[in-house]
Amino acid sequence: MPSKLLHRFFAASARRIGGVTVLAVRAALRTRTVAALLVLLAACVLVLPGVVKGDGTPEGELHILLTYTLSFAFGILCLATLWAACALFAAEIDSARIQLSAVKPVRAVEFWVGKWLALLVMNAVALLVVYAGVYAQVHWRMCRDGWEVIERPVSRHVARPLLPTPREEAREIFADLQARDQLPSGYSERTILRVLEQKAHEKYSEIPPGGRQAWRFQLRRPLHIGEVIAARMRFETEYNTRTQVSGICRLSCVETGRAVEVPLDDFTLKEIEFVVDARAFGQIPTEGVRAFELSFMHTSDPKRAAGLLLRFRKDVALLTPGGSFWMNMLRAAAVHWSVLALLAAFGLALSVCFSLPVAAFVATMLLVLTMVGNSVVQVVSEEDAQKWRNRAGVLVSRVVHSATRRALQAKPLAALTNGERIDTDMLRTSLGWNALLFPLLLAAASCAVLRRRELADTE
């Protein structure tokens, strides 16, 4: 009996939520705003790639299509979603129409979820149209220009070197500085450790001429016979210029004991990448191999060449097959959809609390503050942060960064452009935080305010 009652309760609630969603979508489609938004997105997808000129290479065209076009379209959807969400409740509250809906009866949470789902549905359709348009252009240009296999977009699993965690590395550096009595004065241990941990991903290490560096890898997905593995190194040089790089890259499979050496003597664009067939590592077991070691010996003339600067956590990687490119685009669209879900929930929360002009203003300012705050945290030095005129701004930026770090940590467009598969953990984290946890918290707060403000007389 209790289970039947619960089933009836949730079924009735789902019908009411669905009714609110359908009404909200119909109301949006009757306005000219949706039509104008679709025209703007179509112009972005169809016109922008022809206006922005690349370097004439397939890589340059792909960069424009994936980075500029999708970034611009996603930015339009972000602003449209945020402002539309700010208007949904505020417009009904200002016109007193929400009282008519409240007597149907529909609970506050059903109001909120129904309108939120309406925004999610429209965003999903818009994203699918945008991504489908971009994919169609990529496919058309591949056929028109006859791109080689090596020039076509791919999706590859990315394996990073096995290194200590940023916290462990910060502890090691702190202990070394302390042993040499070189700790900066005027800062607490907690502050120094925090800065070292934050800078771990951007820490450069040098490979001087004549030097050698090796990294160990453990692939999450095993490499099987018939597949290929790519080794990639990106680096910086003195004065950030191109330079003649001579060296020997050695990729060895730990499990089979076989290795492949690739000599390099090239005027490179600060990137080294080579592909090795799995058969080169000998007899591969049926279950595949996972453990590899990559080493690089810098053989350039010390009198003429400078050292290579690498961020081991970001610039060194092994790449293995990771599915199709269009599936990776769907994963990127899902990440973008989760961010739009968070913006919709945030805008609805502001719509409950304020009138439309105030809600739109607050939403825009907080969006700008989030973008600026994350940039400030990345570039500000601890010396500048300690100055009295900067303390308030840095404190606010760090609070904003801490609150939005998980929501914005995924970089889907960078992964698409670099041919890197958006892994399941990144997708799960983005969907969990942006499309579930944060909206639940905002929904609870919004419903509490809504009951007190507008529905108290009708319930």
Other Cβ atoms less than 10 A from the Cβ of 438: the count is 20
Q: How confident is the model at residue 408 (pLDDT cuts 50, 70, 90)?
A: confident
Structural domain for 258, as ranges: 204-321
Q: Does 243 share its domain with 305?
A: yes
Residue that has been written with the tokens 């769907």 in this structure = 330
Q: Does 342 share its domain with 317?
A: no
In a domain? residue 181: no
Q: How confident is the model at residue 409 (pLDDT cuts 50, 70, 90)?
A: confident
Q: Does 20 share its domain with 99?
A: yes
In a domain? residue 416: no
Q: Name the token pair of 100.
A: 């008519």
Provide the β-strand partners of residue 141: none
In a domain? residue 432: yes
Q: How confident is the model at residue 80 (pLDDT cuts 50, 70, 90)?
A: very high
In a domain? residue 247: yes
Other Cβ atoms less than 10 A from the Cβ of 113: the count is 22
Which distant-in-sequence residues (6+ apart) come within 8 Å of 231 by Cβ? 249, 251, 272, 273, 274, 276, 294, 317, 318, 319
Q: Could you report the per-residue pLDDT of 240-250, keeping only the tens digit for each?
A: 666 778 899 99
Q: Could you report the per-residue pLDDT of 324-348, keeping only the tens digit for each?
A: 999 999 999 999 999 999 999 999 9
Per-residue confidence (pLDDT) for residue 175, from 0 to 100: 92
Q: Does 109 share its domain with 28?
A: yes
Per-residue confidence (pLDDT) for residue 104, from 0 to 100: 59
Spatial distance between the Cα atoms of 346 and 327, rounded to a whole number of angstroms: 29
Q: Could you report the per-residue pLDDT of 190-201, keeping only the tens digit for each?
A: 888 988 888 888
* pLDDT above 70: percentage of residues in the chain: 93
CB 171 within 8 A of CB 193: yes
Q: How confident is the model at residue 454 (pLDDT cuts 50, 70, 90)?
A: low
* pLDDT above 90: percentage of residues in the chain: 47
Q: Does 16 share its domain with 125?
A: yes
CATH code assigned at 317: 2.60.120.260
Residue that has been written with the tokens 């590899």 in this structure = 292
Q: Could you report the per-residue pLDDT of 318-328, keeping only the tens digit for each?
A: 999 999 999 99
- Look over the chain and give the mean of its residue pLDDT values, rounded to a whole number: 87
Q: How far is CA 199 from the centre of its chain?
A: 19
Over residues 420-425, the mean pLDDT reads 92
Per-residue confidence (pLDDT) for residue 413, from 0 to 100: 92
Global model pTM greater than 0.75? yes
Q: How confident is the model at residue 69 (pLDDT cuts 50, 70, 90)?
A: very high
In a domain? residue 162: no
| pLDDT above 90: residue 431 | yes
Per-residue confidence (pLDDT) for residue 230, from 0 to 100: 96
CB 277 within 8 A of CB 228: yes
Spatial distance between the Cα atoms of 50 and 43, rounded to a whole number of angstroms: 11
| pLDDT above 60: residue 215 | yes
Per-residue confidence (pLDDT) for residue 430, from 0 to 100: 92
Min mean pLDDT across 26-40, 217-231, 283-297 is at 26-40
| pLDDT above 60: residue 457 | no
Tell which of 299, 321, 343 closes a domain. Answer: 321
CB 337 within 8 A of CB 430: no
Q: Does 233 share its domain with 305?
A: yes
Over residues 17-28, the mean pLDDT reads 90
> What count of residues does the chain have?
459
Q: Does 130 share its domain with 245?
A: no
Q: How many domains would you assign to the chain?
A: 2
| pLDDT above 90: residue 122 | yes
- Higher per-residue confidence, 376 vs 48: 48
In a domain? residue 110: yes
| pLDDT above 90: residue 377 | no
Q: What is the 3-state secondary structure (H, E, C) of the chain?
A: CHHHHHHHHHHHHHHHHHHHHHHHHHHHHCCHHHHHHHHHHHHHHHHHHHHCCCCCCHHHHHHHHHHHHHHHHHHHHHHHHHHHHHHHHHHHHHCCCHHHHHCCCCCHHHHHHHHHHHHHHHHHHHHHHHHHHHHHHHHHHHHHHCCCHHHCCCCEEEECCCCCCHHHHHHHHHHHHHHCCCCCCCCCHHHHHHHHHHCHHHCCEEECCCCEEEEEEEEEEEECCCCEEEEEEECECHHHCCEEEEEEEEEEECCCCCEEEEEEEEEECCEEEEEEEHHHHCCCCCCCEEEEEEEEEECCCCCCCCCEEECHHHHEEEEEECCCHHHHHHHHHHHHHHHHHHHHHHHHHHHHHCCHHHHHHHHHHHHHHHHHHHHHHHHCCHHHHHCHHHHHHHHHHHHHHHHHHHHHCCCHHHHHHCCECCCHHHHHHHHHHHHHHHHHHHHHHHHHHHHHHCCCCCC
Q: Could you report the per-residue pLDDT of 346-357, keeping only the tens digit for each?
A: 999 999 988 888
Per-residue confidence (pLDDT) for residue 236, from 0 to 100: 85
In a domain? residue 378: no
Q: Could you report the per-residue pLDDT of 239-282, keeping only the tens digit for each?
A: 666 677 889 999 999 999 999 999 988 766 688 889 999 999 99
Q: Does 311 share its domain with 338?
A: no
Per-residue confidence (pLDDT) for residue 137, from 0 to 100: 92
How far, in Å, are 88, 90, 91 from residue 95 at the CA level? 11, 9, 6
Min mean pLDDT across 108-112, 385-389, 454-458 is at 454-458
Spatial distance between the Cα atoms of 67 and 415, rounded to a whole number of angstroms: 10
| pLDDT above 50: residue 458 | no
Over residues 203-229, the mean pLDDT reads 94
Q: Does 303 share its domain with 339?
A: no
Per-residue confidence (pLDDT) for residue 100, from 0 to 100: 61
Spatial distance between the Cα atoms of 288 and 285, rounded to a whole number of angstroms: 5
Q: Does 212 share its domain with 151?
A: no
Tell which of 257, 292, 321 closes a domain. Answer: 321
In a domain? residue 64: yes
Per-residue confidence (pLDDT) for residue 459, from 0 to 100: 44
Per-residue confidence (pLDDT) for residue 240, from 0 to 100: 64
Q: Does 134 share its domain with 246?
A: no
Q: Does 229 share its domain with 127?
A: no
Tell which of 262, 297, 321 closes a domain. Answer: 321
CB 260 within 8 A of CB 248: no
